[in-house]
A and B are shown apart, each in its own frame.
Chain A
Amino acid sequence: MKRINKVYVMLALMILMFTMKSNAQIVKAEIRATGLTCSMCSNAINKQLKALPEVISVETDLNTNTFTVTLKEVNELNPKVFKEKVEKAGFFIGSLVVTAKSETITKSPYILVGKNSGTGSEVQFQVVDKGYVTDKEFKKVSKSYKDIATYLADNEDDFHIKILN
């Protein structure tokens, strides 16, 4: 009996560990890039994103330069990866909307600004840090977040997020 209990506990722990991991992750990223209007430029970003091993697919709207990136089940990517990739192609992020398991945003690199999330299993949020919005947008939002010390600190490894759903 005791042995069975132990097995159950082990199993339960393993399942818990597994689900915890898969809960804390980005499922999809919608990137709008700035600074380009040509398909060759767009392709440069497309190729950079596709080079990520965690990426399943990249769908592009060439007219708006929006890239919808679908990611593999288990990944540990954070928004910085997308910023680096877009900048490597020679461009910048104008907006980044991330769909993630709702548990993701309760963890450390994410700092919530504005209202809290809904109750769904997935959460959709926009990263509002410098480099993730257009320069004009940043000037605007940095005024409204002027009381948030971490926002002004401009630390590249934390992400201030606004819940959209």
Chain B
Amino acid sequence: MRNCLLFFVALFCQNALSQELFVVTDPASNVPANSLAVNVMQSLFKEEMKSGYNYHFMPEVTYGLNKNIMFRASAFVSNRNNDLVTEGGSFMTKYRFYSSDDLNSHFRLAAYGRYSFNNADIHQEQIEIMGHNSGFETGIIATKLIKKVAISSSVSFEKAFDNKPNYPFPDAIGDNATNYTLSIGKLMYPKKYTSYKQTNINLMVEFVGQTINENGKSYLDVVPAVQFIFNSQARLDLAYRQELMSSMIRSAPNGFYFNLYYTFFDLKNKK
């Protein structure tokens, strides 16, 4: 496990538009064509129903097939049962179907789909196919960039399946939900660019909500984040997620994110 971790930390990392590179949501923009982005996401959330912290380790690989389509594969590792166990994985594809760009601004729309599998126990009403449930999610994202500020919003439908082989989805709780997000990012530093080597600093705040379609149970979280971009190629995010309101059972709603990203630009021409 440690070797695996070291391997990904060594490789670490992702790309695209810094103010748009949100921590818990995706913008309508994709990674560049022929480029590979590696992301290592780690999260530490405080357990509400027992003592201790829930640690998740989520390595991701994203590939830009062409200017409009990207693919992503993720693996989910967690310590929910004390040892670090690989519980599942996920495939995602995103298609940018509309772009209206102008000098220093753009408006873009994208559609995405994600399929995940997971074998962990089901321990909450919240549906989360990123590391907790088997299931799928499909949605639409709109992103607007104006100078140094990016605003992005998404709506999606998420449905959970049984966490095979041992944990069928409980009948008593709703198995599908509507998710909505609103993210705002701003480039704080530098005020004026001088080179690619300059470290960029972005501040972000994201709102993430879910409503279980069957019974209307909901939550809304806020995620403030600070992001550093090094050498215009690597990225580090530090974020904290805080529940604002919730009417559903959640095992660990509050905690920290720590992400490392790296982009390998234009693979085909580098031989």
Which of these, A32, A42, A60, A88, contacts B34 with CB under 8 Å?
A88
Task: Give the CA-CA distance A43 to B32 in the complex, in Å.
Answer: 10
Contact across chains for A90 and B16 when beta carbons are under 8 A apart: yes
Contact across chains for B200 and A38 when beta carbons are under 8 A apart: yes
Minimum CB–CB distance for A67 against chain B, Å: 12
Contact across chains for B145 and A35 when beta carbons are under 8 A apart: yes
Contact across chains for B17 and A36 when beta carbons are under 8 A apart: yes
Q: Is B266 an interface residue (CB 8 A)?
A: yes
Q: What residues of B have a CB within 8 angstroms of the CB of A65 in the complex?
A: 103-104
Q: Is A142 an interface residue (CB 8 A)?
A: no
Q: Is A1 an interface residue (CB 8 A)?
A: no
Minimum CB–CB distance for A58 against chain B, Å: 11
Minimum CB–CB distance for B88 against chain A, Å: 30
Q: What residues of B have a CB within 8 angstroms of the CB of A48 in the complex?
A: 32, 265-266
Task: Give the CA-CA distance A35 to B235 in the complex, in Å.
Answer: 20
Knowing A44-B32, A88-B33, A88-B67, the reply to whether A38 touches B187 (Cβ < 8 A) is: yes
Partner-binding segment picked from B188-196, B205-213, B250-258: B188-196
Q: Is B30 an interface residue (CB 8 A)?
A: yes
Q: Is B18 an interface residue (CB 8 A)?
A: yes
Knowing A44-B32, A90-B29, the reply to whether A37 touches B195 (Cβ < 8 A) is: no
Contact across chains for A43 and B265 when beta carbons are under 8 A apart: yes
Count of chain A residues with Cβ under 8 Å from any Cβ of B? 30
**B62-121 with Cβ < 8 A to chain A:** 64, 66-67, 96, 99-106
Q: What residues of A have a CB within 8 angstroms of the CB of B247 in the complex?
A: none
Q: Which of B17, B31, B64 has the most chain A CB within a 10 Å cutoff?
A: B17
Q: Which of A47, A87, A134 has the most chain B CB within a 10 Å cutoff?
A: A47
Interface string of B7-39 (1 = CB under 8 A from A): 000000001111101000000011111110000
Contact across chains for B33 and A47 when beta carbons are under 8 A apart: no
Interface string of B159-192 (1 = CB under 8 A from A): 0000000000000000000000000000100001
Contact across chains for A62 and B266 when beta carbons are under 8 A apart: no
Q: What residues of B have a CB within 8 angstroms of the CB of A40 in the complex?
A: 15-18, 21, 200, 229, 232-233, 235, 263
Q: What residues of A have a CB within 8 angstroms of the CB of B21 in the complex?
A: 40
Q: In terms of DSSP, what is the predominant structure of the interface of chain A?
A: mixed
Knowing A47-B266, A62-B195, A87-B67, the reply to whether A41 touches B17 (Cβ < 8 A) is: yes
Q: Is A94 an interface residue (CB 8 A)?
A: yes
Q: In terms of DSSP, what is the predominant structure of the interface of chain B?
A: loop
Q: Is B147 an interface residue (CB 8 A)?
A: yes
Task: Give the CA-CA distance A36 to B232 in the complex, in Å.
Answer: 13
Contact across chains for A62 and B193 when beta carbons are under 8 A apart: yes
Q: What residues of A have a CB within 8 angstroms of the CB of B96 in the complex?
A: 90
Contact across chains for B269 and A39 when beta carbons are under 8 A apart: no
Q: Which of A36, A40, A51 has the most chain B CB within a 10 Å cutoff?
A: A40
Contact across chains for A39 and B103 when beta carbons are under 8 A apart: no
Task: Give the CA-CA distance A88 to B263 in the complex, in Å.
Answer: 15
Contact across chains for B15 and A35 when beta carbons are under 8 A apart: no
Minimum CB–CB distance for B227 against chain A, Å: 11
Knowing A37-B147, A62-B194, A90-B30, the reply to whether A43 touches B232 (Cβ < 8 A) is: yes
Knowing A37-B145, A42-B196, A62-B193, the reply to whether A135 touches B102 (Cβ < 8 A) is: yes
Which of these, B19, B67, B102, B269, contacts A90 with CB under 8 Å?
B67
Task: Give the CA-CA distance A7 to B115 in the complex, in Å.
Answer: 72
Minimum CB–CB distance for B202 against chain A, Å: 8
Q: Is A57 an interface residue (CB 8 A)?
A: no
Q: Is B148 an interface residue (CB 8 A)?
A: yes
Q: Is A91 an interface residue (CB 8 A)?
A: yes
Task: Give the CA-CA distance A87 to B235 in the complex, in Å.
Answer: 23
Q: What residues of B have a CB within 8 angstroms of the CB of A134 in the complex?
A: 101-103
Minimum CB–CB distance for A126 against chain B, Å: 15
Task: Give the CA-CA distance A36 to B200 in the complex, in Å.
Answer: 14
Which of these, B35, B145, B192, contacts A44 with CB under 8 Å?
B35
Interface string of B49-69 (1 = CB under 8 A from A): 000000000000000101100
13 A-B contacts, Cβ less than 8 Å apart?
A34-B104, A39-B229, A39-B232, A43-B196, A44-B32, A47-B265, A48-B266, A62-B194, A65-B104, A90-B29, A90-B64, A94-B102, A94-B103
